[in-house]
Amino acid sequence: MYITDPNQEEDHIATGSESLREFAHNAGMDNPDRAWLLDSRDVWVANPFYSGPAVPHPEDDCRSNDEIAQANAEHDRQFSEWHGDSDGSVGCD
């Protein structure tokens, strides 16, 4: 992609951030109801045209501390069952 700037002497290839900014502008204009936009490089971009309530980043873990503790305890239980170690450690004792 080339960007023409009348203040520059010649065209240049867009940088990654310029490309992402242009994607957010174009896709955001078409989808003002979406807080986050996913580009073709699998990168989430905040929509500059979104004006609704705050929405956490799609990859943020927004679970409560209790839910996280419960998931960790379940992981530790399964690890112990599969590996026979009560503390989840791996070693050659």
Q: Of 27-31, 42-46, 65-69, where does mean pLDDT reach its minimum?
A: 65-69
| Amino acid (1-letter code) at residue 23 | F
In this predicted structure, what is the pLDDT of residue 41? 87
Domain shared by 15 and 45, yes or no: yes
Please name the residues in contact with 43: beta carbons below 8 A apart, sequence gap of 6 or more. Answer: 20
In this predicted structure, what is the pLDDT of residue 58? 85
Exposed/middle/buried for residue 37 (C-beta within 10 Å: 0-12, 13-18, 19+): buried
Domain encompassing residue 68: 63-93
Q: How many whole angstroms separate alpha carbon 13 and alpha carbon 55? A: 33
- Please give the tally of structural domains in the chain: 2
And the tokens for 21?
Answer: 């900014």
Domain shared by 6 and 45, yes or no: yes
Domain shared by 70 and 46, yes or no: no
Domain shared by 6 and 31, yes or no: yes
Q: Per-residue confidence at 9, pLDDT binned at 50, 70, 90?
A: low
Domain shared by 48 and 32, yes or no: yes
Domain shared by 46 and 16, yes or no: yes
Whole-prediction pTM: 0.54
Domain shared by 43 and 73, yes or no: no
Q: Per-residue confidence at 91, pLDDT binned at 50, 70, 90?
A: very low
Domain shared by 41 and 75, yes or no: no
Domain shared by 39 and 12, yes or no: yes
Q: How many whole angstroms separate alpha carbon 80 and alpha carbon 42? A: 35
Inform me whether the pLDDT recorded for 57 exceeds 50.
Answer: yes
